[in-house]
């Protein structure tokens, strides 16, 4: 789900105020074609609720899954997703490219 930066940060703040574990995922690098630019964010709570976008398709689901691990362990992760043009649509990317996403728990 796409949202304004203010909405994403407000959701993170609200979830933390509720006592929920929260992680934020940020696109830190792209090569080739990428659906979301560097700086795009996705915020995730410990229940798997999320707001924002770092890519789309199955990449978003993978980032949410990894974020749940980050919330539990506290250890940040650097994720990399890439695909060739000919298989891009199969995994939910608009065309070939690579993105790097940093996921960290918010304290």
Domain span including residue 84? 5-106
Neighbours of 32 (CB within 10 A): 15
Q: How many domains does the chain have?
A: 1
Q: Over the stretch 23-68, which tens digit does the pLDDT of each residue have?
A: 999 999 998 777 889 999 999 999 999 999 998 777 889 999 999 9
11: left (phi over 0), alpha (psi -120 to 50) or beta: alpha
Please state, rounded to an integer, the average pLDDT across all residues of the chain. 86
* Better-predicted residue by pLDDT, 90 or 18: 18
Q: Is the pLDDT of residue 1 over 50?
A: no
pTM, 2 dp? 0.84
């Amino acid at each position: 789900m796409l949202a304004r930066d203010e909405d994403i940060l407000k959701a993170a703040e609200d979830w933390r105020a509720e006592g929920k574990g929260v992680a934020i995922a940020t696109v830190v690098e792209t090569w080739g074609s990428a659906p979301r630019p560097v700086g795009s964010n996705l915020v995730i709570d410990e229940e798997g609720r999320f707001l924002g976008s770092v890519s789309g398709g199955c990449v978003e689901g993978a980032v949410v899954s990894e974020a749940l691990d980050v919330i539990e362990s506290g250890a940040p992760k650097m994720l990399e997703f890439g695909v060739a043009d000919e298989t891009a649509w199969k995994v939910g990317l608009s065309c070939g490219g690579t993105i790097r996403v940093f996921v960290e728990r918010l304290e």
